């Protein structure tokens, strides 16, 4: 399966055709966003099972609500659906993480219930299991402190290495707005870093 690119004008055309009753127009959107969202959710959740579940829920919501999506309120260039779809995916993933955190608190158990796939990230293969766990916890704790747009900016900038301008174009935000959200994300990350008792070697 290849993740085909869709020019933005064509993406809007697909939306129009979908709204006119041609539900098959939804398939190219799935093909385009599937692997991108899967990667994004894997980065947030660190687990394929959870990422696939949230991906499923995301596409179902997009499918059900695409008819009422407002063109023009999200994104200015690139893929107009992207900001909206990423926000849906982020909200669902954050909701999952928060519920998971509440369950862990209630069970009063330090052990995590879900299995963290340690083999997903090639860049971590040279890290010890403990290091991978600490890094995953760092991200998880930070994500729980942030809102939807701050999370998107955190992942895009700190994980994917995107520049503020690139993130802004994708999300329909100004570079300054991205900078502010990224700064807040960094505050949350540093707070989580200190909560975990980590120190600069």
Partner 1 sequence: MRHKRAQMLLGDYAADELTATEYQELSRHLQECTICQKDLAEIKQIRARLRSFTLPAAELATDPDLISNSFTVSTLVEHAKMEDADLLPGRMLGANSRRPVRRPLTLLIAAVFTLFLLLSTVTIFAVVTSNTNSTAGLHTAPTPTPHSEQRCPTIASSLTPTSTPDTVVSTPRPGEGNCLMSTPTPWLPTATPTPTPLTPTRISTP
Site for partner 1 contains 174 (CB under 8 A) = no
Asked if 95 interacts with partner 1 (CB under 8 A), we say no
Q: Tell me if 21 contacts partner 1 by CB under 8 A.
A: no
Cα distances from 36 to residues 59, 70, 147, 162, 197, in angstroms, run: 13, 22, 21, 14, 33
Tell whether residue 167 is a contact of partner 1 (CB under 8 A).
Answer: no
Which of 35, 95, 107, 109 is the binder for partner 1 (CB under 8 A)? 35
Please give the Cα distance from 89 to 41 (Å, whole number). 8
Question: For partner 1, which is the closer residue by CB, 73 or 107?
Answer: 107
Number of residues that bind partner 1 (CB under 8 A): 54
Contact status: 24 vs partner 1 (CB under 8 A): yes
Check: CB of residue 143 under 8 Å from CB of residue 91.
no
Under rule CB under 8 A, residue 112 binds partner 1: no
Q: Do 40 and 151 form a contact (C-beta atoms < 8 A)?
A: no
Q: Which of 14, 42, 141, 151 binds partner 1 (CB under 8 A)?
A: 42
Is 26 one of the binding residues for partner 1 (CB under 8 A)? Answer: yes
CB 115 within 8 A of CB 66: no
DSSP 115-177: PP-TTS-GGGTTS-HHHHHHHHHHHHHHHTTS-HHHHHHHIIIIIT---HHHHHHHHT--HHH
Token code pair at residue 26: 């939804």
Among 20-28, 71-79, 80-88, 144-152, the segment contacting partner 1 (CB under 8 A)? 20-28
Q: How many helices (H) and strands (E) does the chain have?
A: 8, 0
With contacts defined by CB under 8 A, name the span among 8-16, 30-38, 84-92, 105-113 that binds partner 1: 30-38
Helix, strand, or coil (residue 46):
coil
Indicate whether 52 belongs to the interface with partner 1 (CB under 8 A): yes
3-state SS class at 190: helix
CB of residue 72 to partner 1, shortest distance in Å = 25
Residues that bind partner 1 (CB under 8 A): 1-3, 23-24, 26-27, 30, 34-36, 38-40, 42-43, 46, 48-49, 52-53, 56-57, 59-60, 63-64, 120-121, 123-124, 127, 132, 134-135, 138-139, 157-161, 163-164, 179, 182-183, 186, 189-190, 193, 198, 200-201
């Amino acid at each position: 399966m290849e993740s085909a690119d869709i020019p933005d004008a064509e993406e809007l055309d697909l939306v129009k055709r979908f709204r006119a009753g041609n539900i098959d127009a939804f398939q190219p959107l799935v093909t385009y966003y599937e692997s991108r969202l899967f990667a994004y959710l894997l980065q947030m959740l660190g687990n394929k099972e959870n990422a696939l579940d949230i991906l499923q829920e995301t596409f179902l919501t997009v499918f059900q609500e695409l008819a009422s999506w407002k063109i023009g309120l999200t994104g200015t260039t690139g893929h107009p659906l992207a900001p909206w779809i990423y926000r849906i995916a982020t909200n669902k993933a954050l909701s999952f993480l928060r519920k998971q955190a509440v369950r862990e608190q209630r069970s009063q158990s330090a052990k995590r219930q879900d299995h963290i796939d340690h083999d997903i990230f090639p860049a971590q293969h040279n890290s010890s299991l403990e290091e991978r766990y600490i890094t995953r916890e760092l991200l998880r704790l930070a994500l729980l402190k942030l809102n939807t747009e701050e999370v998107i900016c955190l992942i895009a900038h700190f994980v994917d290495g995107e520049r503020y301008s690139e993130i802004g174009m994708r999300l329909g935000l100004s570079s300054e707005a991205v900078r502010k959200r990224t700064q807040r994300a960094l505050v949350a990350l540093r707070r989580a870093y200190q909560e975990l008792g980590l120190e600069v070697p």
